[in-house]
Structures are given as structure tokens and as C-alpha cells.
Chains A and B, each alone.
Chain A
Amino acid sequence: MPRTRVYEAVTERLEILDVEGRVDQALMPALDAEALRGLYRDMVLMRNFDDKALKLQRQGRMGTWPPIKGQEAVQAGVARAMGEHDWLIPAFREHGVMALRGVPLHLIYAYWAGDERGSCYPEGVRCFPVAVPVGSQWQHGAGVGLSLKLSGEDAVAVTFGGDGSTSEGDFHEALNCAAVFGVKAVFVIQNNQWAISVPLHQQTATATLAQKAHAYGMPGIQVDGNDVLAVYVATREAIQRARRGDGPTLIEAVTYRLGDHTTADDASRYRPEGEVEAWEGRDPIQRLRRHLEGAGLWDESQEAVLQEEAHAWVESQVKAFEEMAPQEPEAIFSSMYAELPPHLVEQMNELLAEVRS
């Protein structure tokens, strides 16, 4: 028999909460009312602080900002599925999950306003800084996953990246190595359909991104990324698997970038008419709200309280960010090495003499 089947694979997609807010009871995770309201609250806070950043940018109070609008369910679902000691390795459109994992919002604002101190997180926050070179962070996630495996620590590395980043060599190398070493990692693709102006079908010839996992020898699953419950369930399963020592998992969360790529971009130049509107109809936040309202777990007055709370929190964070004294000029030198070498001391003094003259 010269021709035999040596490999066959199936890729699953998970959906639990539909656009109308109905849930598949058989797949519904055991989350109590408080936890469900918590997921909703997380997403509302994200929408608020994202919106505020765009306003600040228009007023010249913020640098270039990559909005997360539309991707809140991926970020809330993953954050809530993570354990206290798990590591987060973000790309650059993960402000939501970063904030939920303990990165103070005022630092996130500071970073995108162009202040390096925005990447200096409080002790105990297990989060890598933003990685701007697309795809590079997948490798760090594999490395942190290996570190956790070698140290035997009870924690998992959760790495994020975009659909576009799956085209970089780093993505393939990282997932291959992660699977070879059986590291304690979960890889989450925020497939928001676009990499600046390039749509997914020009990024890959495969039907899904999740199926790429098979080629590395790890499980892959696609989830409705605007369904916070599906994201939560898939991530929890993957984290448990990694924690048990059964190796890494790839999760493709299918979502949509409702905003521009960044505040420096104009998405109307390249997106087909009607696409944004269609995805607005699948808004992750409205979907959960419908569910909560239908189940009698949410009403107008609770919504008003939450919006008020979100507003107050965001304003307090803007205040904290804007009250940060500017960095001293020597800050560009002082963290280059553990110890400043003589030629940098010299250059620093040159700068200080100039600034003070």
C-alpha cells in the first residue's frame, strides 16, 4: 500500500453566547451572577478608557494610540481565565487585558503618550511590556513558558498577538519550539481581520489560523472572539492543560477591530463599505448585556452606576497620568545598563550642560 494517511486533523470552533444574548446551556461555564456581571464590567471599563484615550489624542494629550474597541471580549475572557501567578506577554493592542492583570491604567496612558516609565509596572505585576515589533513577543511567551516548566512553578505564560503577526517567522519558530519543549504556554491570536490595511485572506491561505497549530503539534481551537464566554472557556481549558504539563495550545479568537489601526490611520481608505456596521451588530459588550438583562441580572440603574464608576475611574487615571512630572533628561541614559559606562556618563554630562545652559 504505497499511499496511506499519515495525518488528519480537525479544527473546532467554540461559540456559547450568540448575538441575541442567548447561551448554549450545555457549554455554559459554571459562572455565578457576580462573575458574569464582572465580565461585563471589565468590558465596559475597557470601552470607556479606550474611548478616553482617543479623545485625549485628538486634544494633543496622548501619542499614537491603537484602539481596542470591539476586542474587549477576547481580553476580558482571557484575563478572567488566568490564574493569579500566570504571566501575560502582550503585543501592542492588549491594554484591556493588561489593565485587568494589574497594569495601572495611568501607566498604560503614559506609555502611549511617549513616557518610558509607562512600562515600569508595580512589583508583582506579571506582565511583559508592550512589544511593537510585530510577532517578536511570541518567542518571549515560548521562553517564559519554558522557564515555568523548568522551574516547576505553578504558572502559565499567556501570549497575545494579531492575525498579521502569524505571518512573521517569529510566530512559526516560537510555536514550533513551544511544542517541541512542551512548555507551559497558551498562545492567543486576536484575529481582528485586519493588519493595518491588509485583510486576513491576503495574510494567509488557510481557512483558519487555529489550524496552524496542527503543523506544530499542539492543539488549536477557534473561538468566537466577541463571545466572552467562549473565550473564557477555551482559555481556561488551555491554561489547565498547560498547568498539568500537557503542553501549549493555540487559540484563535475571531473578532474585529472596530476602530482605525491607530490614531495615525484612516481605515475608511481600505475597508469595504458596511463591514464596520455589520460588526457593530456583533458588539461583544451589547451581547453580554442582553444576556444579563434577559436573565434578570442587569438593569438600567445598574448600568447607570457602572457607567458612573467607569467614568470616575478613567478620569482618576487620566489625572494620575497627567500629574506625572516630566522625566528628567538623564532618564534616557540611566536605564541603559545596570551600571552606566564612562562614555555614557560623559554624554549625559554633555546633555545636562546643554539643558542647563
Chain B
Amino acid sequence: MSARAAGGRALHAVPESTTDKLTIAQAVRDAMAGEMERDERVLVLGEDVGVDGGVFRATEGLIERFGPQRVIDTPLAESSIIGMSIGLAATGFRPIAEIQFMGFVYPAVNQLFAHAARLRNRTRGNLSVPMVVRMPYGGGIHPPEHHSESYEAMFLNTPGIKVVVPSNPYDAKGLLTAAIRDPDPVLFMEPKRIYRAFREPVPRDGYTVPIGKAAIAREGEDVSLIAWGAMVRVCLDAAEVLTRSDVAAEVVDLRSLNPLDRETVLASVAKTGRAVVVHEAPRTAGFGAEIAAQIGEHALLQLEAPVRRVAGFDTVFPLARSEQYYLPSRERVIDAVQRVLSY
């Protein structure tokens, strides 16, 4: 169970001596190291994950500790990374596959959609795919093309794959540990923009944050900001600024997109009567649309205003010099909040 009570920041219960102050990238590595220690079926494979320690250093030190049989530098072939992971997972291993950037997942999509998501159902439970696919996603680091994408919607419209996204180091370790222990394929999206943005105390021992449970990252009564990954930080910033105008925004960190913790979302909306969903991915057919639909279906009469979305535009993610025009910003969130408040 989580050391953090349903969404609260109850970490303080953990004695100081048993925690380390880690970044998200370090917490990710910590989770993998812990599970590799605990379960010898756990393997790590991907491009540059071994000797180089991963282009974001998320696998740093693992090859030294667990050897090249368990930390595998693969050829440059995403379809093989995922396709072979399916073969490994279906026959007893617990692969953690890394796709270097979410923008490069396309060659592997056939394997993910056609097989990883379907093998259990296809065989009526006879074969399964207990695999984790880690992918850094999202914008904000001014990289070359294809290094900034957020493709969660595509995976959320593919039944059979769980999708989780941490927004802080504590959840990163707990969710990844849960994902590794999960009997089904889990897509683990890592917000690369905040990989190293801040540190938090993370328990040294293994623990899980349950997949399928949202967290209340900040409590408030006036409006619910619903987000995941790096956008949680943007919402927290916006909520802070909004206090100056006496607006108490609640920030719901979904953490898990599939399964979605509808209960927590609806409870928050029941309290505030207003909701703004914030995501980096393009607006049209983004996951914000699904959340707005669910709120509409289950809580229409509790709403004081229509649900608003703050999202990426329906364009290609721009190159570095135009990135600032694309990404949802604190100001855009504040503007949306003002609109739902004055509706």
C-alpha cells in the first residue's frame, strides 16, 4: 500500500533515515533496481540502456549491478524491443522495455496494439504479457523534432494496455514498482521535462502506488484542475497564483489514465462544480475529451459550468523556437479557470 494516504501528502509518516532525496529519473531507476533485486525474472532492454545508462540516465548503473544478460542494449529496432518483450513476458520473464522517446514508438505500435494488448484475451487467459514499456514523453526541453510528443490518447483507445504517468518522484517509484509487478502490459510515461526538476524524499524500500488511483495534489473548493505528468506542476503553479484572487483550485493528479479513477474525479467535481482538464497532447480526441464526457455523463447536474480543456493545439508539435506557443502554460490554465468561474 501507498505510504501516501489516498492522494494526501502523508509521506511524513516515513522516518527520514529510510528515504533518499531523489529526482523522478532517479526514482525510476530506483524502482527498477529494487525490482531486479527482488525478482530475477525482471529484465531491462532498449536502446542505449546499458553501457550509456540511458539517454536520460534512467538506467544508469544497472548494467554494472545486474550484468548485460539482464540489462540489454538492443539493436536500433523498436519493433524488436517490444515484439521480443512480448515473447519474453509470455514465457516467464518480466521485461521492462524502454522506448527512447515516445515519438519513436511508431515502429513498435504494431506489436503493442496487435499483440501486447490482445494476447491475454486472444488466448482466454492462457498467455499474458506482464511487461512494462517505459517512455519519456512530452515537451518543454527544446529538442529536435519527434522528441516532444504525448501520444497517450492513442494507447487509451487501445483496450488491453494500462497507462500510468507519475508527476513526482514518490509516485514514479511506487507506480513503476506496481507496473513491474502487474500481470498485464503497462505503458509507463515519464514526464521528461521534470525528470530532474526537483527532488523529494523517496523511501529506500520497495513500495507500490496502486495503479488506478488518482491523488489530490492540492485541495480546493472552487474548481477542479485535472491533469497528469508534467501538467500537474503547471496546475499547481496556477493554483498558487489563483490564491491571490481568492480562488481555491483543487488539483487532481490522475496518475493512472487506464484504469481511470473516475470516483476521485467525480468526488472533486461534486465538491467544486467546475472542472478544467489540462494536457499537452492535441485537444481533439485527447484524453480530456473522455474526462469531460465522463463528467457530463455522471455529474452533469453538479456542474456550474461546462468542462473546459487546456490542451496542445491540433498541430504538429513545433520545433524548439515555437514551442512556447504550443504548450499549455500556467497562464492558459488561469485563463480557463477564470472562464469557468465567470460562466
Among listed A146-154, A213-221, A324-332, interface-contacting one = A324-332
Q: Taking the complex as formed, is A170 at the interface, i.e. its CB lies under 8 A from any CB of chain B?
A: yes
Name the segment of B3-11, B159-167, B203-211, B312-320 touching the other chain. Answer: B312-320
List 6 extra interface pairs beyond A168-B79, A332-B315, CB under 8 A.
Answer: A134-B76, A197-B48, A198-B76, A203-B76, A265-B55, A347-B314
A164's partner among B76, B314, B320, B332 (CB-CB below 8 A) is: B76
Question: Which chain A residues lie closer than 8 Å to B284 at the CB level?
Answer: 343
Question: Do A332 and B326 form a contact, CB below 8 Å, given A170-B107, A269-B51?
Answer: yes
A124: CB under 8 A from chain B? no
Q: Is A35 an interface residue (CB 8 A)?
A: no
The CA-CA distance from A92 to B104 in the complex, in Å, is 15
Q: Does B323 contact A (CB under 8 A)?
A: yes
Report whether A63 and B313 are in contact in the complex, using a CB–CB cutoff of 8 Å. Answer: no
Question: Which of A111, A114, A135, A198 lies in contact with B323, CB distance below 8 A?
Answer: A114
Cβ–Cβ contact A115 & B313, under 8 A? no
**Please, which residues of chain B bring their CB within 8 A of the CB of A327?**
321-322
Residues of B within 8 A of A354 (CB): 331-332, 335
8 Å CB interface, B33-87 against A:
47-48, 50-53, 55, 73-80
Chain A residue with Cβ nearest B320: A114
From the candidates B51, B75, B316, B331, name the one contacting A203 in the complex (CB within 8 A).
B75
Listed by A's residue number, 12 A-B pairs whose Cβ atoms lie within 8 Å are A111-B319, A114-B142, A132-B147, A165-B76, A168-B107, A197-B48, A332-B313, A333-B315, A336-B315, A343-B314, A347-B315, A354-B332
Complexed CA–CA distance, A324 and B322 (Å): 14
Q: Chain B residue with minimal CB distance to A327?
A: B322
B322 and A331: CB pair below 8 A?
Answer: yes
Query: Which residues between 319 and 357 of chain A lie within 8 Å of chain B, taking CB atoms?
Result: 326-327, 329, 331-333, 336, 343-344, 347, 351, 354-355
Knowing A164-B76, A203-B76, the reply to whether A351 touches B313 (Cβ < 8 A) is yes
Decide: B76 and A326 in contact? CB cutoff 8 A.
no
Interface size on A, as a range, is: 35 or more
CA distance A347 to B282 in the complex (A): 11
Given A198-B75, A351-B313, residue A269 in contact with residue B52 (CB < 8 A): yes
Cα of A154 to Cα of B261 in the assembled complex, Å: 61
Instruction: Among B55, B144, B147, B319, point to the contact of A196 (Cβ < 8 A).
Output: B55
Chain B interface size, under 10 / 10 to 19 / 20 to 34 / 35 or more: 35 or more
List chain A positions with a Cβ less than 8 A from chain B.
Answer: 63-64, 92, 111-116, 130, 132-135, 164-165, 167-170, 195-198, 202-204, 264-265, 269-270, 326-327, 329, 331-333, 336, 343-344, 347, 351, 354-355
| Distance of A287 Cα from B322 Cα, bound (Å) | 43
- Indicate whether B20 reaches chain A with its CB closer than 8 angstroms: no
Q: Taking CB as reference atom, which chain A residue is nearest B52? A: A197
Residues of A within 8 A of B147 (CB): 132
Question: In the docked arrangement, what's the CA distance between A10 and B322, Å?
Answer: 51
- Is the CB of B92 closer than 8 A to any CB of chain A? no
Closest chain-B Cβ to A281's Cβ sits at a distance in Å of: 25
Residue of A nearest to B324 (CB): A329
Chain A residues with Cβ under 8 A from B50's Cβ? 197
A196 to B56: give the CA distance in the assembly, Å: 13
Determine whether the beta carbon of A167 is less than 8 Å from that of B77. Answer: yes
Known contacts: A132-B146, A196-B55, A197-B48. The answer to whether A116 contacts B313 by CB under 8 A is no
CB-defined contacts of A203 to chain B, threshold 8 Å = 75-76
Chain B residues positioned under 8 Å from A329 (CB to CB): 322, 325
A169 touches B47 (CB 8 A): no
281-319 of chain B: CB within 8 A of chain A: 283-284, 313-316, 318-319
A63: chain B residues at CB < 8 Å are 142-144, 319-320
Question: A332 and B318: CB pair below 8 A?
Answer: yes
Which of B77, B143, B314, B316 has most chain A Cβ within 10 Å? B77
Determine how close the nearest CB of chain A comes to the CB of B276; give it in whole angstroms.
15
Tell me whether B106 is interfacial, beta carbon within 8 Å: yes
Find chain A residues with CB under 8 A from B55 CB. Answer: 196, 264-265
Cα separation A196 to B147 with both chains bound (whole Å): 16
Q: How far is the CA of A199 from the CA of B239 in the complex (A)?
A: 48
Task: Report the 10 A-B pairs with minimum CB-CB distance, sorted nearest first.
Answer: A114-B320, A197-B52, A167-B75, A164-B76, A114-B321, A114-B319, A167-B76, A167-B77, A329-B325, A197-B48
| Given A196-B52, A344-B314, A347-B314, CB of A135 within 8 Å of CB of B76 | yes
By a CB distance below 8 angstroms, the chain B residues around A196 are 47-48, 52, 55
- A168 CB contact (under 8 Å) in B76, B313, B323: B76
Q: How far is the CB of A247 from chain B (nearest CB, A)?
A: 26
Q: Name the residue in B75, B78, B79 with the highest tally of chain A Cβ atoms < 10 Å from its Cβ.
A: B75
Instruction: Please give the distance in Å from A113's CB to the nearest CB on chain B.
Output: 7
Q: Once the chains are docked, how many angstroms separate the CA of A354 from the CA of B145?
A: 25
Which A-chain residue is minimally distant from B83 (CB atoms)?
A169
Among A132, A135, A351, contact of B145 (Cβ-Cβ < 8 Å)? A132
* Chain A residues, CB < 8 A from B47: 195-196, 198
**CB-nearest residue of chain B relative to A203?**
B75
Residues of B within 8 Å of A132, CB to CB, are 144-147
B39 to chain A, nearest CB (A): 26
B84 to chain A, nearest CB (A): 13
Question: Measured between C-beta atoms, what is the minimum distance from A196 to chain B in Å?
Answer: 5
Q: Which chain B residue lies CB-closest to A205?
A: B75
* CA–CA, A113 and B326, complex, Å: 17
Bound complex: CA A333 to CA B326 (Å): 10
A204 to B80, alpha carbons, bound, how many Å?
13
Q: Is the CB of B144 within 8 A of A64?
A: yes
CB–CB A202/B313 < 8 A: no
Give the residue among B74, B103, B314, B315 with the most A Cβ atoms within 10 A: B315
Asked whether, in the complex, the Cβ of A113 is within 8 Å of the Cβ of B320, the reply is yes
Contacts of B75 in A (CB 8 A): 164, 167, 198, 202-204
Q: Min CB distance, B308 to chain A, in Å?
A: 12
Please give me the residue from chain B that is nearest to A168 by CB atom.
B77
Asked whether A202 and B73 contact (CB < 8 A) given A63-B144, A270-B52, the answer is: yes
Residue of B with least CB distance to A169: B79
**A282: min CB distance to chain B, Å:** 24
* CB-CB under 8 A for A351 and B76, given A198-B47, A332-B315: no
